[in-house]
C-alpha cells in the first residue's frame, strides 16, 4: 500500500470542491535570481501534483485560478509567455486528464484569447465532457465580478425576452447562471504565496467556503501541502449561521 493511500484514509472528511489561488510563481523565481517566467513554468508541476492528488483523494471538483481578468495589466512579455504556456500545457496534458477520467473545463471570459487557444480549449472540453472522476476547472481571464455581472446580464436578457418573470430571479436561479453552478458548493479555498486576499476570484461561490492561506510559494506546493490544507479544513467547524451546539446535534 502506498503512503498516499494510507494518508487518504487518515483524512476523514474530504472536501468535495477545492479551489486554489496559485500565487507566488514570480517571487519563487526571483528568489533564485531567475526570471519570473521560470516560476510560471515551475508552477505547472504543482498543478499536475495537485490534480493527481485531489483525484486520488476523491475530491469531486478542483478549480484553479490561472489568470485573472486583472493579469492583462502585467508586462506584455509576461502575458504572452503565460498564453504560450497555457497552450503548451493544454496540448500536452489533455490526454492524461482524459485517461484519468477527469472532466476539463475553462471558466472566464474566453473571448479575449486567441482563436487558436479558444479552439484548443473547446476540443479539450469536448474530449473530456463525459468523464466522471473529477471536474478540473481552470479559471482564465476570470474575475468574480465578471462572473456575477455576466449572470445578471443573462437573467435580464431572459426577462426582456419574456422567458422568465422578474420574480423568478432569486438566489437559486441567479446561482444557476454563475460559473461552476453544476458543481458541489465550494468547501475549501486555498491561497499560496503569503497574501491574505481573494483577488477577485470566486466571490459568489466562496460565500461559505473555508479559507486556507499559506506562505508556501506555488511552485513549492505539492501533494503533502494539499493534504495539510485538507487536514486543517477537517479541524474547522462549519456552522453556516447556526450555533456550535446546533451543529453538534
Positions that interact with ligand IPE (CB under 6 A): 21-27, 65-68, 71, 82, 193, 195, 197, 199, 218
Give yes or no for residue 43 binding Mg ion (CB under 5 A). Answer: no
- Of Mg ion, ligand IPE, none, which one does residue 25 interact with (CB within 5 to 8 Å by kind)? ligand IPE
Task: Decide the pairing of beta strands 188-191 and 134-142.
Answer: unpaired
| Number of neighbours of residue 226 by Cβ within 10 angstroms | 23
Question: Which residue lies nearer to ligand IPE by CB, 113 or 218?
Answer: 218
Give yes or no for residue 217 binding Mg ion (CB under 5 A). Answer: no
Report whether 209 contacts 189 (CB < 8 A): yes
In the beta sheet, which residues pair with residue 151? none
Task: Decide the pairing of beta strands 188-191 and 17-21.
Answer: parallel
| Number of neighbours of residue 179 by Cβ within 10 angstroms | 23
How many residues sit close enough to Mg ion to count as binding (CB under 5 A)?
A: 1
Question: Which residue lies nearer to Mg ion by CB, 15 or 24?
Answer: 24
- Of Mg ion, ligand IPE, none, which one does residue 131 interact with (CB within 5 to 8 Å by kind)? none
Instruction: State the chain's maximal CA–CA distance in angstroms.
Output: 59
- Of ligand IPE, Mg ion, none, which one does residue 65 interact with (CB within 5 to 8 Å by kind)? ligand IPE
Give yes or no for residue 147 binding Mg ion (CB under 5 A). Answer: no
Distance CA 164, CA 73 (A): 38
Q: Is 200 a catalytic residue?
A: no
Distance CA 36, CA 14 (A): 34
Question: Which residue lies nearer to ligand IPE by CB, 85 or 169?
Answer: 85
Question: Which residue lies nearer to Mg ion by CB, 184 or 194?
Answer: 194
Give yes or no for residue 192 binding Mg ion (CB under 5 A). Answer: no
Give yes or no for residue 23 binding Mg ion (CB under 5 A). Answer: yes
Give yes or no for residue 93 binding Mg ion (CB under 5 A). Answer: no
Residue whose Cβ sits closest to ligand IPE: 26
Distance CA 226, CA 49 (A): 9
Cell 482563436 sits on residue: 115
Question: Which residue lies nearer to Mg ion by CB, 94 or 138?
Answer: 138
CB of 39 to ligand IPE, least distance (A): 6
The C-alpha cell that represents 200 in the structure block: 477577485
Helix (H, G, I), strand (E, B) or coil at 82: helix
Catalytic residue among 13, 25, 71, 131: 71
The C-alpha cell that represents 52 in the structure block: 493527481
Give yes or no for residue 223 binding Mg ion (CB under 5 A). Answer: no
- Of ligand IPE, Mg ion, none, which one does residue 21 interact with (CB within 5 to 8 Å by kind)? ligand IPE
Report whether 219 contacts 31 (CB < 8 A): no
Report whether 85 contacts 47 (CB < 8 A): no
Catalytic residue among 13, 23, 141, 195: 23
Binding site for Mg ion (CB under 5 A): 23
The residues annotated with a catalytic role in the active site are 23, 71
Amino acid at each position: 500500500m502506498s503512503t498516499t493511500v494510507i494518508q487518504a484514509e487518515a483524512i476523514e472528511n474530504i472536501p468535495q470542491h477545492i479551489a486554489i489561488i496559485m500565487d507566488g510563481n514570480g517571487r519563487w523565481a526571483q528568489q533564485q535570481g531567475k526570471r519570473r517566467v521560470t516560476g510560471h513554468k515551475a508552477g505547472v508541476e504543482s498543478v499536475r501534483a495537485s490534480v493527481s492528488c485531489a483525484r486520488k483523494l476523491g475530491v469531486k471538483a478542483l478549480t484553479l485560478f490561472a489568470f485573472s481578468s486583472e493579469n492583462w495589466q502585467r508586462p506584455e512579455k509576461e502575458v504572452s509567455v503565460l498564453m504560450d504556456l497555457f497552450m503548451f500545457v493544454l496540448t500536452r496534458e489533455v490526454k492524461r486528464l482524459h485517461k484519468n477520467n477527469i472532466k476539463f473545463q475553462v471558466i472566464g471570459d474566453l473571448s479575449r484569447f486567441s482563436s487558436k487557444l479558444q479552439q484548443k480549449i473547446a476540443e479539450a472540453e469536448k474530449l473530456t465532457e463525459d468523464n466522471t472522476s473529477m471536474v478540473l476547472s481552470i479559471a482564465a481571464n476570470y474575475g468574480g465580478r465578471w462572473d456575477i455581472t455576466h449572470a445578471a446580464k443573462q437573467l435580464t436578457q431572459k426577462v426582456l425576452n419574456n422567458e422568465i418573470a422578474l420574480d423568478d430571479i432569486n438566489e437559486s436561479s441567479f446561482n444557476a447562471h454563475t460559473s461552476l453552478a453544476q458543481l458541489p458548493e465550494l468547501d475549501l479555498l486555498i491561497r499560496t504565496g503569503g497574501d491574505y486576499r481573494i483577488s477577485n476570484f470566486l466571490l459568489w461561490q466562496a460565500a461559505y467556503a473555508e479559507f486556507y492561506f499559506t506562505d508556501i510559494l506555488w511552485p513549492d506546493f505539492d501533494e503533502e501541502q494539499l493534504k495539510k490544507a485538507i487536514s486543517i479544513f477537517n479541524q474547522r467547524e462549519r456552522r453556516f449561521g447556526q450555533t456550535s451546539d446546533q451543529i453538534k446535534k
